[in-house]
């Protein structure tokens, strides 16, 4: 890749600072990741469209991130352009039946705002890590609900740099921890969720309870982690709830497992943490050992929920 040519072309496309060799460990919740060939932050949808057009013409890889959660980046970094979005803002409709929110708003911050305002519908997501855009992309959920169930429409930008488009819920083809966004190659700019007026005190009680439950099983925000590493398994026949991957990992003693500074969290067998200077290679080796033990013991194949980006060692 001719770095000088690429950088000058990108800088001519948008009036933004293009950084070279930016360590992605600084931009992921795991605190892991080598350098990006180029790194740029955007806060305007038109700039994102222009960048996507330019990278398509230049024929170079691009990675779009928000909060950097649910992501494991190679120690070798990313040989392309990393675009970090900063689409913010929260707006309640006049009838208090919907909320428009920028894709870069923290999920937990949105829930907290709605609860304080006495608006119901998303309180199940209290304390959910990451941004709204990332949560929608992976159809994040907890306590029996998911964001996809409340999403009514969204503004998206396509990877080919075509103009913004408004799409409805069905366009996303939501499934368990998935949406059509990755398959289609699109990025969320703004999302609209259905809400309704509720009792603020009651909503705060529910929210506080969910956050307290999280504290008993999940690391604090100060801990470097990408969250649950493996997807839960499909529900067995005549059952409604999925089978937690953590139940199998508990039984094979995963909480005592580690490789280098990558270790399984002591309170949750399906969460891998970075104790300080873990490498992506450490995480990959640890999680492959975890998955192998589960398969050898139970014949169950675990599928990663955390997305790996870059070249594997």
Positions marked active-site? 177, 228, 305
Q: Please report where in the chains the tokens 């002591």 appear, as a residue.
A: 266
Contact 78, 310 (CB under 8 A): yes
| Alpha carbon distance 310, 279 (integer Å) | 13
The pair of structure tokens assigned to 289 is 């050992």
Q: 7 CB contacts (<8 Å, ≥6 apart)? A: 18, 20, 38
- The pair phi, psi for residue 241, each rounded to 5°, is -100, 145
| Alpha carbon distance 263, 50 (integer Å) | 41
The pair of structure tokens assigned to 141 is 């959920």
| Alpha carbon distance 88, 14 (integer Å) | 19
């Amino acid at each position: 890749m001719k770095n000088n040519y690429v950088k000058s072309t990108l800088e001519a496309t948008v009036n933004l600072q293009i950084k070279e060799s930016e360590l992605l460990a600084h931009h992921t919740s795991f605190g892991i990741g080598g350098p990006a060939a180029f790194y740029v932050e955007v806060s305007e949808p038109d700039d994102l469209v222009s960048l996507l057009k330019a990278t398509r013409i230049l024929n170079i890889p691009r990675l779009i991130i928000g909060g950097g959660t649910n992501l494991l980046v190679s120690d070798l970094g990313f040989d392309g352009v990393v675009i970090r979005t900063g689409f913010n803002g929260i707006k309640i409709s006049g009838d208090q039946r919907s909320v428009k929110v920028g894709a870069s708003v923290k999920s937990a911050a949105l829930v907290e705002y709605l609860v304080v305002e006495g608006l119901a519908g998303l309180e199940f997501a209290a304390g959910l890590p990451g941004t709204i855009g990332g949560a929608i992309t992976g159809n994040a959920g907890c306590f029996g609900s998911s964001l996809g169930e409340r999403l009514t429409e969204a503004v998206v930008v396509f990877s080919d740099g075509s103009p913004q488009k408004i799409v409805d819920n069905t366009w996303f083809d939501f499934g368990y921890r998935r949406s059509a966004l990755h398959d289609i190659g699109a990025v969320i700019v703004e999302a609209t969720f259905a809400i309704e007026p509720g009792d603020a005190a009651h909503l705060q009680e529910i929210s506080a309870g969910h956050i307290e439950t999280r504290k008993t099983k999940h690391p604090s925000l100060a801990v470097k982690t990408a969250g649950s590493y493996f997807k839960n398994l499909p529900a067995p026949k005549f059952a409604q709830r999925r089978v937690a991957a953590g139940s199998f990992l508990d039984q094979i003693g995963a909480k005592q497992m580690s490789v280098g500074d990558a270790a399984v969290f002591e309170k949750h067998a399906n969460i891998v943490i970075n104790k300080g200077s873990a490498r992506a290679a450490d995480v990959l080796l640890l999680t492959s050992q975890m998955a192998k033990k589960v398969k050898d013991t139970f014949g169950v194949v675990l599928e990663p929920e955390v997305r790996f980006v870059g070249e594997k060692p």
